Amino acid sequence: METYFHPSSRPSTLELLSDEQLISIYELALEAKASPDFIQIIRNVLTVRNLSDTDYHYDA
């Protein structure tokens, strides 16, 4: 299932997080083995913010 995240005029909760908070949520989601769809949504927000995988640590 492909999930697409489109920023809107009304920001989502993920869009309101700082980069550090978003990265922390991403790492916690991976650690907790959250749903692949949720992890992909976070990855999409990271991409929109131009945060590469070298900007954060993960062991997926």
9-21 pLDDT, tens digit per residue, is 676 788 889 999 9
Closest CA to 19 of 51, 58, 52: 51
Write the DSSP symbol of residue 50.
Answer: T
pLDDT of the residue at 51: 87
Q: Report percent pLDDT > 90 for the chain.
A: 43
Asked if the model's pLDDT at residue 36 lies above 60, the reply is yes
> Would you place residue 7 in the very low, low, confident or very high pLDDT band (cuts 50, 70, 90)?
low
